[in-house]
Homo-oligomer: A and B are copies of this chain.
Amino acid sequence: MHATLSRLASLVNGKCIGDRDVVITGLRPIQEAGAGEITFLAHPRYQAFLSSTQAEAIILPMSSPEYKGLTKPIIKVDNPYLALAKLIDFFYPRALPRAGVHPQAVVGKNPKLGQNVSIQAQAALGDDIELGDGVVVYPGVYIGDGVRIGAHSSIFPQVAIYPGVQIGQRVTIHAGSAIGSDGYGYVFADGCHHKIPQVGRLLIEDDVEIGANVTIDRGALGDTVIGRGTKIDNLVQIAHNVVIGEHSLIVSQTGISGSAQLGRYVALGGQVGVVGHIKVGEGTRVAAKAGISKDIPPHSTIAGMAGIPHRKWKESEVIFRRLPKFRAKIMELEQRLAALEQKAGLFPAAGPEK
């Protein structure tokens, strides 16, 4: 693919500065881009590369200052990442998989298949499944009885979708994820743990993306729900009866315990843990590795093991490193105080700290 700078500018709703007619043949990161290629400065972290990049042209934020000595053609845009997404689609067009059912796929009774469905080799689909137009089922996928998947969704290799799971349109699920398996529910009696059968459903709404090797449990009795537009990273655990609001972000290796409810636009960093049966308010942001153990009001910013506000955590964390100095200081104060007390004819109230 190739295009003039002015055509690319109109593709990304950007403003051309410099030679509008230069022909661009590719797109690469700022350290790697070469002749004929366009690159981008999305994060100030990479500003130092502006002077050395071999790129032909550069995408900059509308708000960026004049960079001295930067004589290359430029496209200025409101949101460089959004421009990047559009340019990648332009320069790296993806071929749609061949439609049809591969002879070494297995499909059960009464399937309802939309237009241009692709069911690839080694897939195993149960009875009474329903796949919308353009759904792609990659090799080795398992789809249980009664599963419905909306149009233009992609199910990558070796995903397992348990019976009865309902999936919306334009949903992507990456390799190896377990979708709708049994939640962790037991009752202890007579010295052992008895399983509470897990018979609820899992509903995944439109435009959700789920990473690789994720686990999402079906409801125990009611439903587990993943709200529209929510994006889930690799190796995340979502337990039974969790409800996640729309447009939330769940970063890798985070775990959400049973029946927790997250509002819309929540963002959880990596390796976060959320205990069960609590509510995390809309728009809340949680730093990586935090533990959330109680209800969190909307629009909070949380960090640390105890799920305390991020600012307070930072303050305490800085002092944590200085605890040895604190101990020394307290001991010194005590000695000085004892000396004063002796001089004043008073006796210390207690012995030294043990």
Contact yes or no, B253 A237, CB < 8 A: yes
Q: Mark A88-121, 1 if CB is under 8 A from B, else 0.
A: 1100101000000010101000000000000011
Residues of B within 8 A of A321 (CB): 306, 308, 312, 316
Contact yes or no, B211 A235, CB < 8 A: no
Given contacts A193-B247, A195-B85, A324-B319, contact A175 B178 (CB under 8 A): yes
Contact yes or no, A196 B81, CB < 8 A: yes
Given contacts A29-B222, A158-B140, A191-B247, contact A92 B199 (CB under 8 A): yes
Contact yes or no, B196 A176, CB < 8 A: no
Given contacts A252-B184, A327-B326, A340-B346, contact A140 B122 (CB under 8 A): yes
Contact yes or no, B333 A323, CB < 8 A: no
Cβ of A15 under 8 Å from chain B: no
Residues of B within 8 A of A186 (CB): 231, 249
Return the contact of A106 from the options B102, B175, B178 (Cβ within 8 A).
B102
19 A-B pairs within 8 Å (CB atoms) are namely A84-B196, A122-B122, A122-B140, A139-B142, A158-B158, A160-B176, A160-B212, A178-B234, A215-B252, A234-B237, A253-B255, A271-B273, A273-B288, A306-B321, A308-B321, A329-B353, A332-B350, A337-B340, A340-B344
9 additional A-B pairs beyond A81-B187, A94-B197, beta carbons within 8 Å, are A32-B222, A157-B160, A158-B176, A174-B182, A175-B178, A184-B251, A186-B231, A336-B348, A344-B344
Q: Which A residues are closer than 8 A to B by beta carbons?
A: 27-29, 31-32, 43, 45, 79, 81-82, 84-85, 88-89, 92, 94, 102, 104, 106, 120-124, 138-140, 142, 156-158, 160, 162, 172, 174-178, 181-182, 184, 186-187, 189, 191-197, 199, 207, 209, 211-215, 217, 221-222, 229, 231, 233-235, 237, 239, 247, 249, 251-253, 255, 257, 270-271, 273, 275, 277, 288-289, 291, 304-306, 308, 312, 315-317, 319-327, 329-330, 332-337, 339-341, 343-344, 346, 348-350, 353
